[in-house]
Amino acid sequence: MKNMFENYIIKGIGGFYYVKTADGVLECKPKGIFRKRKITPVAGDFVRLEREAGANTIAEILQRKNVFVRPPIANVDNFFIVVSTVQPVPSTLVIDKLTAIAVDKGATPIILITKSDLSPAKNIADCYTKSTIKVIEVNAQSGCGVEDVTAMMKDKISVFCGNSGVGKSTLLSAVLPDLTFETGEISQKLGRGRHTTREVELFEAHGGLVADTPGFASLDMDRACFIPKENLQYDFPDIAAYFGKCKFTGCSHISEKGCAVRAALDAGEIDKTRYASYTTLYEEAEKVPDWQR
């Protein structure tokens, strides 16, 4: 990536932003114009700096590839979705919503499955064999799959997201052995961990940048990205493959006759859980009024 290690925001705390430059990390404040335009700098932004009244200021945010509200980060290439086979029990709907958000934002979703020593990863992986979404089984202790993950980071900005308790911080510690990520004990009552990370922070790793982010919860995803119902078919690669093959233009792939997607579903060419996620997200999007989008 051009200028991968120059003038990008590492993290922001209390209105100050820490920018990696050729001269080191500089503490900066953004110009007031950003507040007027309701633009907030985030980790991952490439910026142009100026000196103003003896201080470093962010004068311009360069064009973004994408920007996520939750986690607050820009220019994401890889969207690693960490899920566990057990505790917390994986939800294909949650996974599919995250993969759809990634695709909609122009990032590549990759599913990383942990805790396969407690329950087979195949149960989750099989849902994605008919899609183009890559699935990797990982084990931080044995190192299984870790090299596959690190190889994908070169020249990329990578985000790791996952509900608390899935082993995200433990995996990050294996991916970045020179850094320490705090983890909390899993709450047996809540079925989730007490993640201690509070802000997004970028680290150089394996020829790219990797972000540590707060744990994802299903409620957070509603703020991450709204996908109109008409766009969802493009964000499910296994459904997008049949776009334009339906009998009627504008087919929702829910109940219309002559639907190529439903025919592929009946023929076993599309996974049933993936289709169920698509219909659920479609129906959810349909209920959102225009003023909330």
Task: Verify that 116 and 217 share a domain, yes or no.
Answer: yes
**Which residue among 183, 200, 223 closes a domain?**
223
**Which residue among 223, 251, 267 closes a domain?**
223
In a domain, 161, yes or no: yes
Task: Verify that 182 and 238 share a domain, yes or no.
Answer: no
Q: Is the pLDDT reported for residue 289 higher than 70?
A: yes
Q: Identify the CA nearest to 132 among candidates 151, 109, 154, 153.
A: 109
Q: Is the pLDDT reported for residue 189 higher than 50?
A: no
Task: Verify that 191 and 108 share a domain, yes or no.
Answer: yes
Length of the chain: 293
Task: Verify that 196 and 216 share a domain, yes or no.
Answer: yes
Q: Average the pLDDT over 56-72 and give the result.
A: 91
Longest dimension (CA), the chain: 68
**Window from 65-69, 126-130, 199-203, 228-232 with minimum mean pLDDT:** 199-203
Task: Verify that 210 and 267 share a domain, yes or no.
Answer: no
Q: Which domain holds residue 275?
A: 227-292
Query: Encoding tokens for residue 116?
Result: 């396969």
Q: Average the pLDDT over 230-243 and give the result.
A: 93
Task: Verify that 74 and 46 share a domain, yes or no.
Answer: no
In a domain, 1, yes or no: no
Per-residue pLDDT tens over the stretch 245-267 = 999 988 999 999 999 999 999 99
Domain count, the chain: 3
**Which residue among 16, 34, 63 closes a domain?**
63
**Core vs surface per residue 158-177: b (16+ CB within 10 A) or e:** bbbbbbbbbbbbbbbbbbbe
Neighbours of 250 (CB within 10 A): 7
Task: Verify that 76 and 216 share a domain, yes or no.
Answer: yes
In a domain, 91, yes or no: yes
Task: Verify that 92 and 145 share a domain, yes or no.
Answer: yes
CA dihedral 39, 161, 106, 255 (to 10 degrees): -110
| Per-residue pLDDT, 293 | 63
Residue 58, domain CATH: 2.40.50.140
* CA dist., res. 193 & res. 88, Å (int): 9
CB 9 within 8 A of CB 47: yes
User: pTM for the complete prediction?
Assistant: 0.85
More confident residue, 273 or 222: 273
In a domain, 2, yes or no: no
Highest mean pLDDT among 121-130, 133-142, 209-218, 261-270: 261-270
